[in-house]
A and B are shown apart, each in its own frame.
Chain A
Amino acid sequence: MSKLKDLTLLVAKYEKELNTLIQEKLNDHELVNSANEGLQKHLSTLRKLRKFNEFVAQQLNLPTKDDVAAIAKLVMQLEEKLDRIEDLLMHLLDENPSALSQEGLNQTTTNNDSESLQADDVNEDQELDELSDEESSKPLKTKIMNLLSEMGMKVLKDAVKNALAQRGNSGV
């Protein structure tokens, strides 16, 4: 075992020297220039391949990586909008504690502090359910709709309106 220990110490010493040597050799102006040339050639090949790929995908009606990324980006944008709505809701609930007590949301907010995201989703559903109760949540609902309107998110505003209407119709 002591031989292994000696070997480890010896290797550690030479490893450090070897690393310094490699770094010194790599830190060379000529090498930088060669790397730059290689990089430009590599880029040129990549561009040609990408263009060819796009051409073939177009002919075969297949999505490219950029098309898939564009869809993913749309999903991300939706997620961001939901995030902003969630922020606004929380802001409103902070602003309007009386609305909280009216709707029995006090419990929900307290629970939010100790539950995971999945539980939050359930709570959000409960909040929306309670929002659809015409008698108790009218001012809060109007406020949310006004704020969404100010944000210029007509689509989301309509979606929330429809969702609330549907919940109202189904008697939930």
Chain B
Amino acid sequence: MIEKNVRCPKCHEIVSFSGEPGERITVTCPKCGAQGKVTFEKLTTDKDFAIEVSHLKKVYGNLIAVNDISFSIKKGDVFAFLGPNGAGKTTTVEMIESIRIPTAGMIKILSKDIRTNFDDVKNDIGVLPQEFHSFERLTVKETLVYFSNLYKKQANVDEIIEAMDLKGNQNQLYTNLSGGLKQRVGVAIALVNDPEIIFLDEPTTGLDPKARREVWNVIAGLKKKGKTIFLTTHYMEEAEYLADHIAIIHKGKIIAEGSLDELLNRYGKGKILYIKRLKTKNVKELLQQKGFEVTSEENGDIAVRITYKEHVIEVLSALRHDCIDYGSIDIKRSNLEEVFLHLTGSKLGEVAS
């Protein structure tokens, strides 16, 4: 039997249910009586995980940079490690890459303990370090050939160049490339050994929005090929756009973890219906009387929480019933920024490193 906590979509009460792995059962909310279905995930085995981290800790003097964190990454997933600068993202990923030595904890890559098997593991991973800058006076192709020569298992360099859309730049010196191209070369370098797992440490930091999109497309392409990707980022959009699974790290601790939907449902405000330019006053009271949750009201605009899609029609019908006219409507889903704000009390971009 496994236990699962579920938030009731109607009354937002968090309720605990238990069931067998793989089972899907119908449940009733003990508070409001609403009915719904709960699925219990199949138990995953060791072999399903690309990376397993348990009780990982890194201490520098008085500073606990990474504080007893544990997580697992399923094969083929894009795992986003999201957090502000200085949260411990790079320290964690560099411990997994064996660049830093953990103070405590255990790391397994493809079921192999990296403390004893890292030389072996090196062939299964491809790494783009943070702020990576390759040899300035080598061309793109020479760079890839150089790194490829370090491995026993080598991917075809020309194919990587093709796949990364670097063909037109392959004979350019690295130092003459734009920031976006440099990052693409960085990702390409991480692929020279055709790795199972790819680590990308802040691959889009410092890039303009267009270059960022290009790198995202590259990452999405890698996911399609079935690669497991460990992505660290402080951009929520990046995690939202790319990740199957997100862990939010703050001050060295993982404060939330799950799929985007799970995180939004658990910590976000859900979906919000914005009704703008209302022609009538006291709409808030009216809607509240009818059992809707109004999250804000200002300057004739009103925001109502939508927990299931029928809510939208119900709200609009209520307005129509009372002949209340309005300018426009808009439905917004909450985002990770909100989740982060909810969890830490501060905005992601505002947290000092």
**Pairing of A with B:** no
Residues of chain A having any CB pair with chain B under 8 Å: none
